[in-house]
Structure 1
């Protein structure tokens, strides 16, 4: 489906541009112009489909996935060819249909209106286990929610544990259970993991709206933790570890910067998994590891990749199968990464934007 939509979109855009250029000389394009636009459009669609099959075959072979089938071929060729034909031969009808489809989609995706002044829903502070403690969703009062979560941590015996992990969730409030299992195994079960949600929407919506909530909630939580940890001698308090995946990595890195500025002796390490390109600092003054799959497009995607190649933080450790890489080209690299985003969650752990217990690995050279 992803390939069908994208191939059709690019082919339709090309056909539309061709028709607009052919109308410059006269109000209606002549038959020869129509044949040229139609022929070029079909050839471009076919060439694009061939390149897509070649690239998909390389990627699938690298990650051990089955090769593309006839249904994939049909989606990559028939739909784009039909779109080009419709735009060239019946442009007015096609324009009406396209406009109706856009209007319907916009109506379905528009958010529901909320009453002004109505408080956002919250969740009760709960202990999902003796290990993972999830805080209250309170976007208007991060400090209060952080204080209540730290109180729950203290009641659970957190001060006597070997480590405390601040796990900054994604925009939907999700914390990867594979990472939780990894930290539990790494610290032999003697760990508390604290998660303070800052939103309850799809992660991509939270990412588009900005990282203020992610950074604000994470800093509020480490501020509360720091007050408690500073009251204990260095050898009698748990190790403080920061962790975040995707948008959560942005919040975790903001908490790292705050701790380095205000309580540098408290922070043991920071573990960032798959931060979007350009969203975290390129270097860290305290121990940090950045975990990224070689095939993960999230760590390469940014608007700036349209005019410059993406970069990785200094402490990045690549994992997962080795996959072929196309040299970066202006605009083209951004489009290719955008296409890859749509199927980033389709593979197993270690492929694309899927990660396993390896997220909890310690920083290289750091003593446990």
Structure 2
């Protein structure tokens, strides 16, 4: 009705102004290897608030060189904002063209990130790849909304799906033009609504592992079709909050680093990791909570779910709904906060040349998510 339309108009206007905010402490890049910089196909202003943060972020060449003890390459970060092109497909194509322009197709690894509603990317997931490949990497992403994820989840689900699919297909087409022996590794990643969109190009797990060299999805949602299917069809005896699927052949679910070795069966390639905490309301919120007790309360509970928690019709749904609002206001390793364990996940997925367990431990305390930037 009229009230709903007025509310959405107000919300749109509010968050559009946030998206367009110009931070004088975050000037346009001076390198050709970043979107919005010299020779870029997109303007700095069009990237949006989160896009500018992403492009300007990450470790420097000096920091990478010091960390790895070897001369580093300058990492590539490309991005197209909501105002960079007209429509999702055009924006995805532009982001991919930026990747080509910067020489991203010649790097060792390309990371395709699907953003959350505001255009945000977990900095830990992005910079980990840059540390592990000593800058010989290229990251590409695009914005499809400027609304916070909880609003986008209600009104922008289709845009998230279309963006995830359009960006992957645009980059994949470019990579497949290259001789097979010259192709970089291609991985996909995203958190929350970004994991939802990141699954979009793939019909099922077998399609995901056939078309990529790995994937990292953190804090998935009940709308994630692949994740939901894997969880429902989990191996007998494994709990909903931390499933095992097909004896861990290609996909692993992890709440803490040691879970990556679970089960003991061989872990094939490519590898997919879902980072998920038992206390993450984003992952366990579901309309079914209204009238059905979930398996995560029936089975052996996760390490940070209270043994006193009981399922009560409607009430539990409202409790978990309320928890979503404060899901990131908790320490790393709980709720919807995925930072240090990202290092272990990427290391397990890609096993980069020369990377060691000692380097993973060294990287963990360096990482940050920039969630509130």
Q: TM-score, normalised by structure 1?
A: 0.59
How far apart, CA to CA, are the structure 2 residues paired with 1:159 and 1:165?
Answer: 11
Aligned to 2:193: 247
- SS of aligned partner of 1:362: helix
Alignment pair present for 1:349 and 2:295: no
How far apart, CA to CA, are the structure 1 residues paired with 2:119 and 2:222?
Answer: 21
Instruction: Report the CA distance between 1:288 and its aligned residue.
Output: 2.1
How far apart, CA to CA, are the structure 2 residues paired with 1:335 and 1:230?
Answer: 47
How far apart, CA to CA, are the structure 2 residues paired with 1:163 and 1:365?
Answer: 13
- SS of aligned partner of 1:256: coil
- Out of 215, 222, 228, which is 1:270 matched to? 215
Alignment pair present for 1:159 and 2:115: no
Aligned to 2:240: none
Aligned to 2:117: 171
How far apart, CA to CA, are the structure 1 residues paired with 2:5 and 2:200?
Answer: 36
Instruction: Report the CA distance between 1:240 and its aligned residue.
Output: 1.0
How far apart, CA to CA, are the structure 2 residues paired with 1:343 and 1:223?
Answer: 35
Instruction: Report the CA distance between 1:107 and its aligned residue.
Output: 11
Alignment pair present for 1:294 and 2:239: no
Q: CA contact under 8 A between 1:260 and 1:267: conserved in structure 2? A: no
Aligned to 1:324: 306
Alignment pair present for 1:136 and 2:81: yes
- Out of 308, 318, 338, which is 2:292 matched to? 308
Alignment pair present for 1:124 and 2:43: no
- SS of aligned partner of 2:331: coil
How far apart, CA to CA, are the structure 2 residues paired with 1:344 and 1:171?
Answer: 16
Aligned to 2:67: none
Q: CA contact under 8 A between 1:300 and 1:311: conserved in structure 2? A: no
* CA deviation vs aligned residue, 1:102-122 (integer Å, no higher than 9, x gap): xxx98995524999xxxx989
* CA deviation vs aligned residue, 1:315-339 (integer Å, no higher than 9, x gap): xxx99x6342424443233122123
The 1:344–1:268 alpha-carbon spacing in structure 2 relative to 1, beyond 3 Å, is: same
Q: TM-score, normalised by structure 2?
A: 0.58
Instruction: Report the CA distance between 1:211 and its aligned residue.
Output: 1.2
How far apart, CA to CA, are the structure 2 residues paired with 1:134 and 1:228?
Answer: 16
Task: Report the structure, 1 or 2, having the larger helix content.
Answer: 1
User: In terms of mean alpha carbon deviation, does 162-171 or 227-236 score higher?
Assistant: 227-236
Aligned to 1:191: 137
Q: CA contact under 8 A between 2:328 and 2:337: conserved in structure 1? A: yes
Give structure 2 stretches of 5+ with no counterpart.
Answer: 14-18, 21-42, 58-74, 231-244, 251-269, 353-373
Q: CA contact under 8 A between 2:272 and 2:349: conserved in structure 1? A: no
Q: CA contact under 8 A between 1:182 and 1:358: conserved in structure 2? A: no
* CA deviation vs aligned residue, 1:297-327 (integer Å, no higher than 9, x gap): 1111011221234468xxxxx99x6342424
How far apart, CA to CA, are the structure 2 residues paired with 1:295 and 1:211?
Answer: 24
Instruction: Report the CA distance between 1:172 and its aligned residue.
Output: 0.6
Q: CA contact under 8 A between 1:276 and 1:299: conserved in structure 2? A: yes
How far apart, CA to CA, are the structure 1 residues paired with 2:295 and 2:351?
Answer: 29
Q: CA contact under 8 A between 1:170 and 1:203: conserved in structure 2? A: yes
Correspondence 1:1-368 to 2 at 5 A: 109=7, 111-112=9-10, 124=46, 128=56, 130-137=75-82, 140-257=86-203, 265-281=210-226, 282-283=229-230, 287-310=271-294, 322-325=304-307, 326-359=309-342, 361-362=345-346, 368=352
- SS of aligned partner of 1:171: coil
Q: CA contact under 8 A between 2:79 and 2:142: conserved in structure 1? A: yes
How far apart, CA to CA, are the structure 1 residues paired with 2:157 and 2:5?
Answer: 27
Give structure 1 stretches of 5+ with no counterpart.
Answer: 1-104, 313-317
